[in-house]
Amino acid sequence: MRVLRGFALLVLAGGLAFGENKVILKKPPKSLHKYYPPKSKNFEFLNNMYIMSTSFFGINLNINEGNWKGALEWANRLRDTYKKTSRMVPEWKKYFKPALADDLVKAVKSKNVDKVIKASKKLGQTCASCHRDNEIAVKLVYHYPSFDNLKLEDPVEFMEVKVGKYMEKMTNSLKALRIYLTQGQKDMAQEAGTNFAERVRGLRAMCSKCHTDKASEEIYMGKNLESALTKLEELLSAEKLDQKAIFSTLDRISMTCAKCHNVHLVPAMVQEALAK
Amino acid sequence: MIPLIILLAFLLAGCEKLESVFIEEDLLQRPQAKRCMDCHADIYEEWKESRHYHAWTSEQFKIESENYSKLKCLPCHAPHQVDPDKKPVLRAEFKADGVSCVACHFKEETKSMHGPLKVWSPPHPSKKDLAYVRSNFCAGCHQETFKEWRRSGTIKTCQSCHMPDLGKKDLIQKFPYYLFHLSKPRSSHRFPSLKAKPEDLRFELKDNVLYITNYRIPHNLPTADQGDPRLYIIARVYYRNGKVRTVRKLLSAQSKQVLAFREPFPLKLPKGEIEEVRVRVLRKLAWKKEKDLIGEFRIPSPSHARGGQSTQGGGPQ
């Protein structure tokens, strides 16, 4: 149990660098880039993290079951992967202390639980220190899709534009609809509303690049959204525009906007900031 | 000399054991496409002009698959073995060959080349397999298009249009093998993408809605599984009061706005008394930057054309 508590500390140690009134994210170093798509599809660096994490637990599990031989195998695997990983990103070399990995192997060989806990803690602190400084930034940069290079064709103007520009055009047509409706300019409201609906539908071309199966398609652009867009078009083509019903339908549509933004917008903004 | 070779060949053809003497073992080890060219030069040249040849190396695919890191996309772009109705697995070797000769024709189960014809082929065993003339042969990768085709209820197969008949031709060009073969019915291995013709579309103007119908192409326009081909509709609406409005519509497989087979697509036009609508329809293939014109059409309003009656169709300009 004592060993387990020791390992638990390692898990809790990850996080951010906090300062007074601010949270600091460090840009991931350039040399990490080659271990993630699009440069590599094998996630070599991340996989080493998994191997080390599993190896830590392998030591823990086996010691708790009295299997010191098994624990030693995992300790050796941990040491080897730790040393290999320390050479992968030169900018992060300072975080690694290979001698501590050797110490953990020695501790396991000695079959002394206290020594193992002590060596684990020391080695684990090097992991935690790197995670604290870098883990969140790395996840934001490499684990979320980048919208930076994506282009979408605007279904109203038939022009390819970057995602940011597309969003601007889409929201501008939404705002124009609200403004013309409020001002009682029916024809203009109809045109702006139709353009807005077209642009919302046009987003599918972007989302479907990653959301390729039916279940995720239903989440991002399912029946609810399509029925709301159809309703909006119906309301806009009526002889007399029902402002209240249109606004209520826009609220339904905005639920999808919020859903996607909650997942993608913040990471995309952080990515953009880190790319500068 | 040639008659002697032919005579010898006939003698050998009668002896199954001797036939194995001519087997070229590497052909049964899933070779590169260029190895097939040694004998099937004409088919190879056709295939090199096809999108199947470019399936893996296409710049567009490289971008869309994020440098081949979107694993889900890869099997259809370099399939190990293409079987009816079955999504293939990714090939381990020669991925740059894309949808290659062996991907479609070599079967692990029989260790032989399959195809729609019965042939005598000393360098490799061959089997006649009628799966090659059926649409579901393409369904493993072209899943969505296959479903659309099935809904259309048409008799024509995928191969009828996208592997058009070339008449009787030699299957092989290598000496001396071509001397032993009669010409056989051949289908194009260019797998043409084809373009809709103006007469494939029909228009009907009714109550300020322009209904556009894909009347003759037995799948959606545009159609794709993951690619993003597009159809552009630009309608210039001429009103009795002299006003002109332009309505644009972008159709794409990914936005799920398409011209389904014989399902009128409603394009709502701004209110007003319409005299005529002039429509331009263009398309853009998924891997191309340029748009191609499909046709230009003039659709008079029903009342304008026939004294208040409904107008069907709408002829190309």
CA angle in degrees (0–180, nearest 5) for B271-B251-B140: 150
Residue B309 has pLDDT above 50, yes or no: no
Taking the domains of chain B in order of start, what are their residue ranges? 21-187, 198-306
d(CA A79, CA B108) in angstroms, rounded, equals 43
Q: Which of B250, B252, B280 to mutate to test the interface with A (most CBs of A within 10 A)?
A: B250
**Token representation of residue A38:** 């699009």
**How remote is the C-alpha of A245 from its chain's centroid?**
36
State the average pLDDT over residues B57-71: 89
Place of tokens 């094998």: A42
In chain A, residues with a C-beta closer than 8 Å to the C-beta of B270 are: 187, 190-191
From CA B313, how far away is CA B299, in angstroms rounded?
8
Are A208 and B254 a contacting pair at CB < 8 A?
yes
Does the pLDDT of residue B26 top 60, yes or no? yes
Averaged confidence pLDDT in chain B: 89
Numbers of helices and strands, H then E, in chain B: 11, 12
**pLDDT value at residue A19:** 61
Cβ B134 vs Cβ B157: under 8 Å: yes
Residue B174 has pLDDT above 90, yes or no: no
Number of domains making up chain A: 2
Last residue of a domain, one of A77, A110, A142: A142
Q: How many CB contacts within 8 angstroms connect chain A with chain B?
A: 51
Same domain, residue pair A64 and A83 = yes
> Of the candidates A130, A79, A129, A77, which has an alpha carbon nearest to the alpha carbon of residue A100?
A79
Question: What are residue A162's phi and psi, to 5 degrees?
Answer: -75, 160
For residue A41, the model assigns a pLDDT of: 81
Residues 129-168 of A with CB under 8 A from B: 153, 155-158
Could you tell me if A40 lies within 8 Å of chain B, comparing CB atoms? yes
- CB within 8 Å: A40 and B69: yes
| One domain for residues A16 and A90 | yes
Question: Which of A1-5, A232-236, B57-61 has the least mean pLDDT?
Answer: A1-5
Widest distance between CA atoms in chain A: 87
A219-240 mean pLDDT:
90
Structural domain harbouring A237: 151-275
pLDDT for A18 equals: 57
- State the average pLDDT for chain A: 90
Residues A128 and A11 occupy one common structural domain: yes
pLDDT of residue A14: 40
Instruction: List the single residue in B71, B248, B271 with the smallest CB-CB distance to A156.
Output: B248
C-alpha closest to that of B116 among B190, B31, B49, B187: B187
Per-state percent for chain A, helix, strand, coil, to nearest 5: 75, 5, 20
B56 φ/ψ angles, rounded to the nearest 5 degrees: -95, -40
The helix (H) or strand (E) run that includes residue A4 is helix A2-12
The pLDDT tens digits for B227-255 are 899 999 999 999 999 999 999 999 998 88
Per-residue pLDDT reduced to its tens digit, B74-113: 999 999 999 999 999 999 999 999 999 999 999 999 999 9
Confidence grade of residue A12 (pLDDT, cut at 50, 70, 90): very low
**Are A171 and A130 within one domain?**
no
A82 phi/psi in degrees, rounded to 5:
-60, -45
Q: How confident is the model at residue A237 (pLDDT cuts 50, 70, 90)?
A: confident
A165 & A96 share domain:
no
- Say yes or no: A224 and A96 in one domain: no
Give the mutation candidate from A40, A208, A218 for the B interface (greatest B CB count, under 10 A). Answer: A208
Q: Could you tell me if A109 and A223 lie in one domain?
A: no
- Residue range B119-163, pLDDT digits in tens: 888 888 999 999 999 999 999 999 999 999 999 999 999 999 999
CATH no., domain B198-306: 2.60.40.10
Distance of alpha carbon B248 from alpha carbon A215, whole angstroms: 31
Residue A79 near residue A104, CB atoms below 8 Å: yes
Q: What is the CATH number of the domain that holds A137?
A: 1.20.120
pTM of the model: 0.80
Higher pLDDT, A79 or A7: A79
pLDDT surpassing 50 at residue B46: yes
A107-140 pLDDT per residue, tens: 999 999 999 999 999 999 999 999 999 999 999 9
Q: Is the peptide bond before A38 cis (omega within 30 degrees of 0)?
A: yes
Instruction: Give the HSE-up count for residue B29: Cα atoms under 13 Å, Cβ half-sphere.
Output: 5
- pLDDT surpasses 60 at A270: yes
From A142, A160, A184, give the residue that closes a domain. A142
The domain boundary, picked from A84, A118, A142, lies at A142
Checking if the pLDDT of A155 tops 90, the result is yes
Do A101 and A156 have their domain in common?
Answer: no
B276 sits in the region (left: phi over 0; alpha: psi -120 to 50; else beta) called: beta
Closest CB from A153, A212, A237 relative to B268 = A237
A77, A51 contact by CB (below 8 A): yes
Within this chain, do residues A218 and A259 fall inside the same structural domain, yes or no? yes
Q: Is the pLDDT of residue B310 over 50?
A: no
8 A C-beta contact, residue B103 and residue B82: yes
